[in-house]
Structure 1
Amino acid sequence: MQFHLNGFKPGNYQVPDAARKPNPIPPIQDLPSEVDVLIIGTGPAGLTMARQMSEFADIKTCIVDMAPGPLLFGRADGISCRTIEIMEAFNSSEMVVKETYHLMQNTFWEPDAANPKNIKRTHKIADARAGLSEFTHGIVNQARLHELLLDGMSNSITNLRPHYSRELVDMQIDESLTLDLNAHPITATFKRTDDAVADLVETVNARFVVGSDGGRSRVRKSLGITLEGDTANKAWGVMDILLNTDFPDIRVKSFIQSKDHGAVMTIPREGGYLIRFYVEMDQMHQGTRASDIKVTEQDLIAKAQKIFHPYILDVKEVAWWSIYSVGQRLADRFDNRPAGSSDDIIPRVFVSGDACHTHSPKGGWGLNTSLPDTFNLGWKIAAVLQGKSEPKLLDTYSTERRKVARQLIDADRELSKLVATRPSAGGASDEAKVDTAKIEAFMKRQSGFVSGTSIEYFPSYICTGQENQHLATGYKIGQRFHSAEATRVADGRSQHLGHLVKADGRWRVFLFGGAQNPIDTTSAAYQFIDFLANSISSPVLKYTPKGLDIDAVIDTYAVFQQRDLSMHDLHGYLWPTKGKYGLRDYEKVFHGQDGNDVYDLRGIDRSSGCVVIVRPDQHIASILPVTSHAEVSKFFEVFMIGQT
């Protein structure tokens, strides 16, 4: 898709440039006085949390922000493979894939040895993230991703919409009520910031609060949570521009190092014309903020033009620009519980995204780490509020996501050193040189982390069964369920198995059958299905409330090696009756594909098969033998609540 030809215009890219207009600022409505979940901040983390909560009609959610309306432009632009997988869970990946600019190559430029005042390409390589997912790393305006999440919220069963122009001025927690899940122990006070009713105060009582309100988070400060780590000592300018140039790699991601003027990183943007420039600035004095640096977009352009010599940069329009500083800081805790709290203390307030981890934007990790923060948290809060899971499930958010944030901080610190001139732009050339070979090696080594596909949670009661990893070596316990295609038995359609795991709070059980025919009632696969369908110990029967569909809590799918199966010969649990009329669901059984077989792709034991339990956030919770009926029951018993 091509757009922005005659100037940058934010909004829905499905609307032609000439007709596209930003969404109008929504009308202001009163805040509710009492909610189950209060979300503060409408960045990627806040909107992802709200998008999940919008799926649950029995959970009352409110999301607020200081801004007068939705984001229009700027900020993050990189959309990782894993983020698009999450958007698929919200049924929005098709639009993301269609509109993003796919990064397929990287180039590296250094001073020309024959004429050091000029830059010269040293090499061009394929992007290291290729092949890690069915999706490709892409570039799109963060505001467009926000818009897709907002549309999903608005069109959900709850018709959830943000409340803008609200500034959090105070938050109090009544500690005497935190162990009572039915209580609303948190009182949040907001001040209206719109011109119509400035300074009007509103109060919201909540059962849970999620602070996704950025690097200067008031939620974090109200909890006394500190950010630990390095303060910024380097500034970079960032700008999205429309330009004409004779630089040959303008539509390829490029790392450019000059002899005397510092470095630039360029990223081609969506639409075919827009380009993002990261321009290296000078060292910052201790205590200086990026906002204190007195430069203009023209200063950034002038410096970039020097770095690109002998190539011409004729900038026609600056769509957005800013100055940011590089600093890596991590919150000492991700919820309101004091350090060292016992397991019986229920966390009631959480921080996510930039509110608990800050870093530079060059690695593209901000949005792509913030969004999975609340994708991890949302289903857990929903399960506790709905009485499906024990409150201790909430403890796992901080444990799992703080580990990821620590990895992010370490990786960003390393990358920031690699792409920044040392000790400062304009220093001696032997000290100022950026080693592009080391950048290339870093990107290859960190490709799984950069893409989000290798994020792995520690072993716990919701990441267990490591002793059975050999049964499916390509499904790493703790990592996301790596999708692969299979053929649906009922109609022969090819289906990505990972796309079956939607963000609806349900657990998934994938049965990969062994060598025995699943029609044979003595086969391990048939016996496992019969156990789920009929056993008094079945977690499906134990945790599904009476009157709901059989897959309302635990959704089961089967993949078999046999190709000549008929749905009507299989156990009835695999094509269950559902809904108002008891209609049959024919979309739960698959077999492998020639030349692209999931058993081969994911290292599944063909003789015995296996059972893969997948969490609502698409991460693999456990791998078990098909014969391990009792172990499947024990897995869910640890944290789920039986339904009557």
Structure 2
Amino acid sequence: MQFYVDGFRGGNPDIKNAAPGRRDRQENAPLPEKVDVLIAGTGPAGLCLAAQLSQFPEIDTMIVEPSPCNIIKGKADGINTRTMEMFQAFGFADKVKRETYWVNQTTFWMPDPENPSGIKRVGRVQDVADDSSEMPHILINQARMHQLFLEYMENSPSRLAPDYNWGVKTLEIDPDADEYPVTVTLEDTGVNWGETRTVRANYVVGCDGARSNVRKAIGGELHGDAAHQAWGVMDILANTDFPDVRQKCLITSANEGNVLILPREGGYLFRMYVELDKLNEDERVAQRNFSQEHMIAAANRIMAPYTIDVKEVVWWSIYEIGHRIADKFDDIGDGDRTSQTPRVFTAGDACHTHSPKAGQGMNVSMQDTFNLGWKLAHVLTGRADASLLHSYAGERLLEAKRLVETDHQWARIMSAPATQDELDGKVEPRFIRQFQENLEFTGGLAVKYDESSLTAEPVHQALATGEEVGRRFHSAPVVRLSDAKQMQLGHVAEADGRWRIYAFAGEGDSSDAGSAIHKLADWLESDPKSPVVKHTRKDEDIDAVIDLRAVFQQTFDQLAYEDMPSLLKPTKGKLGLTDYEKVFCADHKGAGDFYDMRGIDRAKGCMIVVRPDQYIANILPLDAYDELAEFFAGFLLPA
């Protein structure tokens, strides 16, 4: 973690210096008349987007929420490994790891063939495969996760905070307006209930749930089907003789349905998803008047001979499984994409809904806006043309389809009764087999973006076989040269909208003046064709847009920091202080060798270009200067 770059200041280093001229947020202060970005909804998608944009005080961001405050309990709970990698970029992954329940093993229970009215354990599966990520799969109260984003916003240079008790009622887009073309009518849901205000915005993002008014305003509809199956969910404090209550469990009974157990943070609380009744084609779950008592009774029937003695129901809800996806993720029709750029977007449940049992809803929602946030920042700060924003729908729609299709299959397997061969142990149960096959997906690690201006053709993939172009950058251990600190290389990336170039040195390269790393750094720093020179403004730090980091094969005691090129020890900030944290080398204490773990070509080395949302955009030889310049020129504007 780096601070003091602009001078010493005591106190919490997470609290950034406040930007001048920020909005008056005192009670009774008027709402702004114009904003750059208006976000509807303070769920995971909305807060993830707001947190990113809060780091850009030059972007006027507003986030509205009809509720009077942050939620307290309930709703989603699972955070997969990919989202934990994203949390690292926001700086609160360690706090999340400390406070949460880690899902290490998943156990599976089925009817006992010798006593079909009861259940028995039939298998265990390691929940996070070895070296799939340095991060755990965790469970957390969604309200706490919201709070972490809210604190990040509060501590940002813009001091961003939600406007509670305001919801989007309608919006209109003026196609002829170049600035603030979206007029949003906000409705007061608080003390002055029903009163309206209008705010004009350059961009609007609807993170306002499955009944999204933003989606409706742009003519979007959710399409899909329902499983016509009622499920209950409850967070409970209870005593039980069920032995695996502190492990994630998938339980299927002979005739009573299924239960999913998810232990929660704090050591005592756990969540149960309980299968209830099948619904008729024309029936909605609300018509059945299910209660928490129905759920508890059903859970005890399913888990026999074990029992659950519930002491407190912290939160509960009844829902019906549905799998739906919006026909559009922004306001532009397919035929208009060459002539118009989007102004209104939807994210999260506003554009895709599914069952909660695969634990993907909150994760995919945040990944939607983690994808969109840096693109909006690029456009609004003049680094990229507005056409860049087309890539949001192009990339995230495909992932939403994958989510809905996979969840559709998983939900039906979860609800299907066991076959006799499964009960007799003649074949592996389908839900164990499917769970294992889905591990990469449920970890959030299956995302792969197609070739585009942001994701290059994998011409040089052989230089880094374990870092696939289009997938997220897979971190591995390194040692920082300046202070011999063991760390994960991927943890240098922050949610700050910057691109990263990780330059891996070839064999024998110690960054002497004639080496490939030294030549690359010198070219990036001074050549007129360099993307660093071309896309960085004169008044900015040299790594403000593109951040170069170098990794060497030697151990820290075999390299000389003084031999490193100046781009790898740049001077930054108001005081012109040297940044000592750009150079890394092989781990010398056995944590792992990056080159071996990720298939980096030892003889030649390579460059790995990583997007601001941690996905690999390109892999190039160390001397591919023209290709590197051409790649960045495909979407970045000259400074």
Q: TM-score range by the shorter chain?
A: over 0.9
- Distance in 1 of aligned mates of 2:283 and 2:609: 49
SS in 2 for 1:361: coil
Structure 1 residue 232: deviation in Å? Answer: 4.1
Kept in 1: contact 2:254–2:417 (CA 8 A): no
SS in 1 for 2:407: helix
Within 5 Å, give how 1:443-482 maps onto structure 2. Answer: 443-482=435-474
Q: Which residue of 1 aligns with 2:22?
A: none
Q: Which residue of 2 aligns with 1:259?
A: 254
Kept in 1: contact 2:63–2:162 (CA 8 A): yes
Structure 1 residue 520: deviation in Å? Answer: 2.9
Q: Which residue of 2 aligns with 1:58?
A: 58
Kept in 1: contact 2:249–2:260 (CA 8 A): yes
SS in 2 for 1:473: coil
Kept in 2: contact 1:108–1:436 (CA 8 A): no
- Distance in 2 of aligned mates of 1:128 and 1:287: 40
Q: Which residue of 1 aligns with 2:409?
A: 414
- Deviations along 1:446-485, one digit per CA (max 9) or x if unpaired, are 2111111231111111111401111001111111111112
Q: Which residue of 1 aligns with 2:264?
A: 269
Within 5 Å, give how 1:366-381 maps onto structure 2. Answer: 366-381=361-376
Q: Which residue of 2 aligns with 1:391?
A: 386
With over 3 angstroms needed to count, the CA separation of the structure-2 counterparts of 1:37 and 1:287, relative to structure 1, is farther
- Distance in 2 of aligned mates of 1:504 and 1:359: 31
Structure 1 residue 262: deviation in Å? Answer: 1.0
Structure 1 residue 207: deviation in Å? Answer: 0.1
- The question of 1:227 aligning with 2:219 is answered no
Q: Which residue of 1 aligns with 2:146?
A: 146
Q: Which residue of 2 aligns with 1:400?
A: 395
SS in 1 for 2:298: helix
Q: Which residue of 1 aligns with 2:527?
A: 535
Q: Which residue of 2 aligns with 1:587?
A: 581
Within 5 Å, give how 1:34-53 maps onto structure 2. Answer: 34-53=34-53
Structure 2 letter corresponding to 1:140: I
SS in 2 for 1:87: helix
Structure 1 residue 411: deviation in Å? Answer: 0.6
With over 3 angstroms needed to count, the CA separation of the structure-2 counterparts of 1:418 and 1:341, relative to structure 1, is same
With over 3 angstroms needed to count, the CA separation of the structure-2 counterparts of 1:412 and 1:28, relative to structure 1, is farther
Q: Which residue of 2 aligns with 1:551?
A: 543
Match of 2:597 among 591, 596, 601: 601
- Distance in 1 of aligned mates of 2:620 and 2:298: 58
Kept in 1: contact 2:252–2:417 (CA 8 A): no
With over 3 angstroms needed to count, the CA separation of the structure-2 counterparts of 1:503 and 1:245, relative to structure 1, is same
SS in 2 for 1:604: coil
More displaced stretch, 228-237 vs 296-305: 228-237
Structure 1 residue 123: deviation in Å? Answer: 2.1
- Distance in 1 of aligned mates of 2:167 and 2:449: 34
Cα RMSD (Å): 1.9
Q: Which residue of 2 aligns with 1:83?
A: 83
More displaced stretch, 223-232 vs 617-626: 223-232
More displaced stretch, 50-59 vs 304-313: 304-313
With over 3 angstroms needed to count, the CA separation of the structure-2 counterparts of 1:287 and 1:221, relative to structure 1, is farther
Q: Which residue of 2 aligns with 1:619?
A: 615
- Distance in 1 of aligned mates of 2:85 and 2:387: 27
- Distance in 2 of aligned mates of 1:212 and 1:638: 30
- The question of 1:94 aligning with 2:94 is answered yes
- Deviations along 1:207-261, one digit per CA (max 9) or x if unpaired, are 0000000011111111111212113411110000110011111111111112221
Task: Give the count of matched residue pairs.
Answer: 609
Identity of aligned residues (%): 46
Q: Which residue of 2 aligns with 1:641?
A: 637
More displaced stretch, 325-334 vs 286-295: 286-295
- Deviations along 1:410-443, one digit per CA (max 9) or x if unpaired, are 11011001111459xxxx9999999972112212
- Distance in 2 of aligned mates of 1:287 and 1:399: 35
Structure 1 residue 500: deviation in Å? Answer: 1.0
- Distance in 1 of aligned mates of 2:424 and 2:28: 53
Q: Which residue of 2 aligns with 1:286?
A: 281
Q: Which residue of 2 aligns with 1:520?
A: 512
Structure 1 residue ranges (4+ consecutive) displaced by more than 4 angstroms after TM superposition: 26-29, 428-436
Kept in 2: contact 1:422–1:432 (CA 8 A): no
- Distance in 2 of aligned mates of 1:260 and 1:612: 53
Q: TM-score, normalised by structure 1?
A: 0.92
Structure 1 residue 488: deviation in Å? Answer: 1.1
Within 5 Å, give how 1:232-251 maps onto structure 2. Answer: 232-251=227-246
Q: Which residue of 2 aligns with 1:302?
A: 297
Structure 1 residue 534: deviation in Å? Answer: 1.1
Q: Which residue of 2 aligns with 1:168?
A: 168
Structure 1 letter corresponding to 2:413: L
Structure 1 letter corresponding to 2:594: V
Structure 1 residue 293: deviation in Å? Answer: 2.9
- Distance in 1 of aligned mates of 2:370 and 2:398: 15
- Distance in 2 of aligned mates of 1:118 and 1:442: 23
Q: Which residue of 2 aligns with 1:505?
A: 497
Structure 2 letter corresponding to 1:299: H
- Distance in 1 of aligned mates of 2:460 and 2:338: 28
Gaps of at least 5 residues in structure 2 are 1-25
- Distance in 2 of aligned mates of 1:188 and 1:60: 15
With over 3 angstroms needed to count, the CA separation of the structure-2 counterparts of 1:439 and 1:29, relative to structure 1, is farther
Kept in 1: contact 2:456–2:618 (CA 8 A): yes
More displaced stretch, 144-153 vs 585-594: 585-594
Q: Which residue of 2 aligns with 1:329?
A: 324
Kept in 2: contact 1:465–1:624 (CA 8 A): no
Structure 1 residue 164: deviation in Å? Answer: 1.1
Structure 1 letter corresponding to 2:255: D
Structure 2 letter corresponding to 1:154: E
- Distance in 2 of aligned mates of 1:262 and 1:481: 40
Kept in 1: contact 2:374–2:612 (CA 8 A): yes
Structure 1 letter corresponding to 2:398: K
Structure 1 residue 516: deviation in Å? Answer: 4.0
- Distance in 2 of aligned mates of 1:480 and 1:445: 19
